[in-house]
Chain A
């Protein structure tokens, strides 16, 4: 049957305008030509209009100096080129994204599991949280934190900042104000090399311990306890390295400068960063909680019943039966929620957080060509999303159930 159709297709007696193979090529060429004509016409208009207005049509603006200072970034030199400004924007976006993802995941998992609790109060509270935050636009939550909590909220002005001491410490541990918060951080001391070396040794030792327990289990059937052993070995070696090396770290405490207008030392979190991170963390946590709940519910009820039949405790049931199967279902949507969070950091424009969208808008307002700047902005976000999609595809392929 197939051979005769092939022969028909190749049969020279069929007119070219009825030969399917040729027609397919013709149709596609016409379509591609039409699309390219359209794109060319649009692009041509763009170039013509830009030339008419004498706005540059190239990307040379990336090499010229920025001209303005980036808020809360003392190290940035306004004379550095726009490329560096873009990098700072990307760094700020990723910072807010990373901490937002952290907060969202922790909170989301807790609330997602709470929603399935047998305790009515806990389940209802979790349900209220999810139904509230899922249905409010994230921009409103960001504006709430930016304005109602910071600008008009209970925090004092920086010169009168609340300086809180941790019990037992002699230096200020925490500085709270309506613009900048300061928390302690670690500074590298003179023996930092010893620290890194001992960390490397500890990781190797932990891997060795892991392998040893696995082989021991295979040979003798002794319980694996791999996680406990490798973690223990890691801690012992790392602590030994810290103690022997000595003086690897110092803690940098935040404090107000003499002018009382700046915080020096420690990690400095500005109000834009905190608003965006906390708001997006809360918002995305509600979505992640729903995903987790849905994925746990999607595990067939038979699995839970089987676990109960062999008398696993509740914790064991989750750890060995439910969660591994639920994670397989849950991971792709959760990853796409992470991507949404990173894209939602662009709403930081509303609270003047210096992420890449805000900086792009500022530079456009200062005379940089708008089309190219926005294309660069889109390119940055495309890079994030393509990277994450790529990683997600790899993960999907690895965990997919192989069906025969």
Chain B
């Protein structure tokens, strides 16, 4: 049976992205009216304004002059590569460049596929769909663009600018093409995203050893979905064909890895900002299935499942992340009988995953609670098994409802990756310490490098929280 749905469709005939609605008109005030209304509307407010204006002006002038005139920015400017990738072997930096280009293409393709899917759904539901104009898109990511622009200005070489322009160009082209594809072909786009994602990962770590399993699985899933789209003669044949697709992909991956056996730079050597940006998504992706399972277990009718999952969740949520990271550092290796010891980063990501899974479990539990019992009863009345009800009816709605909370958790996790510096894993903050351990920058530029690091985190999390607010508004979550 042809399966027209794409990976991320909720299975409900509702467009995920609502058409842009017109906003109520804003009042227009000319300057004197505005001053009177906003700054001097009562004696109290006038007094406060009159006190604040000189104070702000003075502080602003001091801060601005510090930033532009007195600050020593050379610790930042001369160590940009160190900040971005840490002590990554300089001869292998081409891998990082390739990864950036491949992943921005993947992001562009995914964005295009999402837009195409949304358009198709809007069309089916009979609603109009208007894409954001380009200016609005640029404004959304203003903070990030400013930071990237500052960074590029500091490098004072052409390389990073070319790389940045290339990545943006390829992302834009793929987004454009993707958003114009017809609805039935969107599944191919998502398969392409999976392949590109995997390729971006592997171009850095290399093609050897057990990587075939990690990387084969997403492509196998994509393949099975694609194979399922073909019209087969019977359901049995479809099932066999899908299994066959999965098997073929896995076998090909295995053989390819054994043959190529090309070692790249393993994740023990991923450092700097790159580590922060990669650790958070990896932890969330690994923690997501575990968290969903825990949430379902916590609400199950079996007391054993409930007690065990509640115990785990409350235990992990009650302790600070640093203690879990220390536990990982000091004795997680003792729990397993591995022949080779786990690297620092593996242990850190294990601890991060455990931590995140408990928080995701709580979020998903809230989402599950928000689904009216009627849905479950409707599923039961049609004769579905409990697990099928959860899989096809409850979970899609629940996950859609908690998207803003998930994004909030992702933001918090990105900020928490700075804790890796305390256990001597070389993230951006730790690399800052390395910069200041160099003889020339020992006592200089302390505040400047800290401001630089803070600015990078601020730009990333600010953009993400803006996106989350936008998404909340579009999904209509929280409106009564």
Contact = CB atoms under 8 A, between A and B. Distances in A.
B330 A121 contact: no
Chain A's interface size range is: 35 or more
A301 B385 CA distance: 45
Contacts, number: 146
B240 to A, nearest CB: 29
A148 B53 CA distance: 27
Interface string A113-133: 000011111100100000110
Q: Looking at B303, B320, B331, which has the most chain A CB atoms within 10 Å of its CB? A: B320
B161 to A, nearest CB: 27
Contact of A148 (B45, B421, B446, B462): B446
Contact of B331 (A46, A120, A378): A46
Interface string A341-371: 0011011011000000100010010000011
B150 interface: no
Contact of B415 (A120, A137, A361): A137
Interface in B43-64: 45, 48-49, 52-53, 56
A251 B83 CA distance: 51
A28 B305 contact: yes
B330 A143 contact: no
B317 interface: yes
A42 interface: yes
Interface string B405-448: 00000010001101101100000010000000000000100110
Nearest to B478: A298
B251 interface: no
A28 B330 contact: no
Contacts of B8: none
B327 A374 contact: yes
A157 interface: no
B450 A147 contact: yes
A49 interface: yes
B125 to A, nearest CB: 31
Contacts of B461: 134-136
A385 interface: yes
Interface string A377-397: 110011011100100000000
Given A31-B304, A371-B331, A382 B319 contact: yes
A124 B454 CA distance: 21
Contacts of A382: 315, 318-319
Contact of B419 (A131, A347, A364, A386): A347
B205 interface: no
B123 to A, nearest CB: 36
A144 interface: yes
Task: Give the bracket for the number of chain B residues in contact with chain A.
Answer: 35 or more
A121 B39 contact: yes
A186 interface: no
Interface in A95-123: 117-122
Given A119-B49, A147-B446, A374-B326, A136 B334 contact: no
Nearest to A349: B422
A118 B318 contact: no
Contacts of B314: 386, 389
Given A28-B303, A361-B326, A346 B320 contact: yes
A243 interface: no
Contact of B49 (A46, A121, A357, A386): A121
Contacts of B319: 343, 378, 381-382, 385
A139 B276 CA distance: 14
A28 B304 contact: yes
A120 B39 contact: yes
A214 B366 CA distance: 43
B255 interface: no
A42 B454 contact: no
B462 A140 contact: no
- What is the interface of chain B mostly: helix, strand, loop, or mixed? helix
A45 interface: yes
A125 B52 contact: yes
B327 to A, nearest CB: 5
A344 B412 CA distance: 13
Contacts of B41: 118-119
B45 A119 contact: yes
Q: Which of A122, A131, A140, A344 is the most central at the interface, judged by chain B CB atoms within 10 Å of its CB?
A: A140
A24 interface: yes
B17 interface: no
B335 interface: yes
A125 B327 CA distance: 41
Given A147-B446, A381-B320, A385-B318, A50 B52 contact: no
B48 A119 contact: yes
A385 B315 CA distance: 10
Interface in A4-42: 24, 27-29, 31-32, 35, 42
Given A119-B49, A121-B52, 18 more contacts: A28-B304, A31-B305, A50-B334, A118-B45, A119-B48, A131-B462, A135-B462, A135-B465, A137-B415, A139-B421, A148-B447, A343-B320, A370-B331, A381-B320, A381-B323, A384-B318, A385-B318, A386-B318
10 closest cross-chain pairs (CB), A and B: A120-B38, A385-B318, A343-B320, A28-B304, A135-B461, A137-B415, A370-B330, A49-B334, A137-B418, A119-B45
Interface of B: 38-39, 41, 45, 48-49, 52-53, 56, 302-305, 308, 314-315, 317-323, 326-327, 330-331, 334-337, 411, 415-416, 418-419, 421-422, 429, 443, 446-447, 450, 453-454, 457-458, 461-462, 465
22 contacts: A27-B302, A28-B304, A31-B304, A117-B45, A119-B39, A119-B41, A121-B53, A125-B52, A125-B56, A135-B411, A136-B454, A136-B457, A137-B418, A139-B419, A140-B418, A140-B450, A343-B320, A346-B320, A357-B326, A361-B326, A371-B330, A374-B330
